[in-house]
Amino acid sequence: MALEMTGSYDIPVPREKVWEALNDPAILKRCIPGCEELERTGETELRALVVAKVGPVKAKFKGKVFLSELDPPSGYRISGEGDGGIAGFAKGGAKVELSETQAGTTLVYTAEAQIGGKLAQLGQRLVAGTAKKTADEFFKNFAEAVTGETHEGV
């Protein structure tokens, strides 16, 4: 089940700082909903453990996060894939673009998500809502985190 979502956030932080945060596993871990572990395993590759919770469903996904199309400080693509065992699998990614504004930075994302296996077979009615909610939460968390982080640093 493939879905596409878009959104944008205005972040009152300079673009360089936003870019740095986008590449900081600690920040990413805090922002990815349900992320329990996120470790860098290579220059552009991270290992992740995410617990996805939708209503009564609680599935643990082991997987990887990749950073690609790196174009500092204008953006990149962040993508991930996780194996949820009997629940199936989930894949997703987002093209993130940062542009400078007077107030700081505008972050625009175009995200896509795909699920397979049992989740796709049973959860058809909830896929779109959940994917949208997850993407929204991530970028909302991120915008808040990068704002808080930078202000703490000031």
By the criterion CB under 8 A, which residues form the site for other proteins? Answer: 1-2, 54-59, 85-89, 114-122, 124-130, 132-133
C-beta closer to other proteins: residue 77 or 118: 118
Shortest distance (Å) from residue 59 CB to other proteins:
6
Query: Could you tell me the two tokens for 21?
Result: 């945060």
C-beta closer to other proteins: residue 73 or 92: 92
Shortest distance (Å) from residue 56 CB to other proteins:
4
The rounded Cα 9 to chain-centroid distance in angstroms is 14
C-beta closer to other proteins: residue 68 or 124: 124
Shortest distance (Å) from residue 65 CB to other proteins:
17
CB 18 within 8 A of CB 109: no
C-beta closer to other proteins: residue 20 or 112: 112
Shortest distance (Å) from residue 101 CB to other proteins:
26
With both helix axes pointing from N to C terminus, report the angle between 15-22 and 124-153 in degrees, rounded to the nearest 10. Answer: 120
Q: What is the DSSP code string of 71-106?
A: ETTTEEEEEEEEE-GGG-EEEEEEEEEEEEETTEEE
Alpha helices in 1-154 (DSSP H): 15-22, 25-31, 118-122, 124-153
Cα gap 90→102, rounded to integer Å: 37
Query: Could you tell me the two tokens for 152?
Result: 């703490």
C-beta closer to other proteins: residue 100 or 136: 136
Shortest distance (Å) from residue 68 CB to other proteins:
17
